[in-house]
Amino acid sequence: MGVKYIQPVSAGSAKGLVAEVYSQIKQEFGSLVEPFTLHSPIPNLLAGAWMAARESQLAGNVRRDLKEAVAAAVSRINQCPYCIDAHTIMLKAIGKHKASQAITDGRIDQISDFKMYSIIRWASATRSPGSEPLLSPPFSREEEPEIIGTAVFYHYINRMVTILLTETPLPSSRSWLKKPLKKLASLLFSQAVRRVIPQGESLRFLPEADLPPDLSWSKHVPTIAKAFARFASTIDSVGIQALSPEVREIIQKQVDAWKGEDVGLSRSWTEQKIRGISEASQAAGRLTLLTVFAPNQVDNEIILDFRTHFPEDEKLLGALAWASFTAARKIGTWLQQPFSKE
């Protein structure tokens, strides 16, 4: 259990911005959970990640169970067991036990709620640009920023969690214990998931920023647009601090050409992409390429190689966050409805 490779700020020692964000997370999410606290070595990054999640997933007018289903379905296609457990627990907390189990089992055809089924089918296709569910999305223009925002955030956070957290938020990963543990965990969140979260109250944590064109799907809900603009600006800053221009250029070039496909089990392809650059940049390039395309393949060896050259927690966290959000932003460009591009 716990965060790997970096040391997050504990609740007891949190000060300033970290303490303020922690307080809002605990009050509104229901618990100070590790997918947020892992960002705390960089306070602005913590604030940006929280506000992107809060304003799209927790606040707004779209049913919370639909957005939890998006989070769980995206986590399933990204093979992030921690996030699958976390968000099927949240579905149980809302009372959507059948949908929770159907996503866990990968049998969404058993879901009778047509809106729920359609949203999960759409979320499960978010790695497949041009696919039929994406071309005919089951939500309105008004719902788009909340649903796409939730999907984009989980394509980001799945990568961070896969690398930095253990396999489940539960006390045990044993299959026979999971069902009763999930039931108990859902009871802990049953009040928080029904709380009405006012829009925009996280925006005070970071200064205003311009919305990049590739995040234009968010513009019809100003609070979501402002949250993702601030998050994107923060990510850009930590990326510049953590990674050399040549590494960022390599990653951006590969992401620009990506169509959602898997890279397979071999890591040899990474060596072709980083040939000819310095040893330190090669270590950063391996880490960030795998973070984008195969986060499950980031292991102790890859982390140790990076930390040999960049020992600070802030460097590791910044590199992972920049790579993860670069991938998530690309996926977001596949999800926009035709009217969003007008």
Residues 69 and 180 in one domain: yes
Q: What six digits make up the tokens of 302?
A: 């890859």
Q: Model confidence over 23-41: pLDDT tens digits? A: 999 999 988 999 999 999 9
340 domain residue, yes or no: no
For the chain, what is the domain count?
3
Which of 235, 253, 286 terminates a domain? The answer is 235
2 domain residue, yes or no: no
> Beta-carbon neighbour count of residue 304 at 10 Å?
11
Q: Model confidence over 196-226: pLDDT tens digits? A: 899 999 999 999 999 999 999 999 999 999 9
Active site residue 80: no
Residues 49 and 156 in one domain: no
Which of 210, 235, 260 terminates a domain? The answer is 235
1 domain residue, yes or no: no
Residues 226 and 292 in one domain: no
342 domain residue, yes or no: no
Residues 231 and 257 in one domain: no
Q: What six digits make up the tokens of 217?
A: 């799907």
5 domain residue, yes or no: no
Residues 76 and 175 in one domain: yes
Q: Is 299 exposed, middle or buried (0-12, 13-18, 19+ CB in 10 A)?
A: exposed
Residues 162 and 223 in one domain: no
Residue 276 backbone class (left: φ over 0; alpha: ψ -120 to 50; beta: rest): left
204 domain residue, yes or no: yes
Q: What six digits make up the tokens of 80?
A: 């992030």
Geometric angle at alpha carbon 284, from 280 and 287, rounded to 5°:
140
Residues 93 and 185 in one domain: yes
Which of 196, 218, 252 terminates a domain? The answer is 196
User: Which entry of 21, 46, 83, 298 is annotated as an active-site residue?
Assistant: 83
4 domain residue, yes or no: no
Cβ atoms of 151 and 327 within 8 Å: the answer is no
Residues 174 and 79 in one domain: yes
Rounded to two decimals, the pTM is 0.94
Per-residue confidence (pLDDT) for residue 2, from 0 to 100: 85
Residues 248 and 230 in one domain: no
pLDDT digit string (tens) for the chain, length 342 residues? 589 999 999 999 999 999 999 999 999 998 899 999 999 999 999 999 999 999 999 999 999 999 999 999 999 999 999 999 999 998 999 988 888 889 988 888 889 899 999 999 999 999 999 999 999 999 999 999 999 999 999 999 999 999 999 987 776 667 666 767 777 777 777 777 788 899 999 999 999 999 999 999 999 999 999 999 999 999 999 999 999 999 999 999 999 999 999 887 788 899 999 999 999 999 999 999 999 999 999 999 999 999 999 999 999 999 999 999 999 999 999 998 654 544
Residues 163 and 177 in one domain: yes
Torsion of CA 278, 280, 283, 289, to 10 degrees: -70
Concatenated DSSP letters of 127-191: TSTT-HHHHS-SS-TTTHHHHHHHHHHHHHHHHHHHHHB-S-SSS---HHHHHHHHHHHHHHHTT
What CATH number is attached to the domain comprising 101? 1.20.1290
Residues 103 and 136 in one domain: yes
Residues 213 and 224 in one domain: yes
Domain span at 53: 11-60+197-235
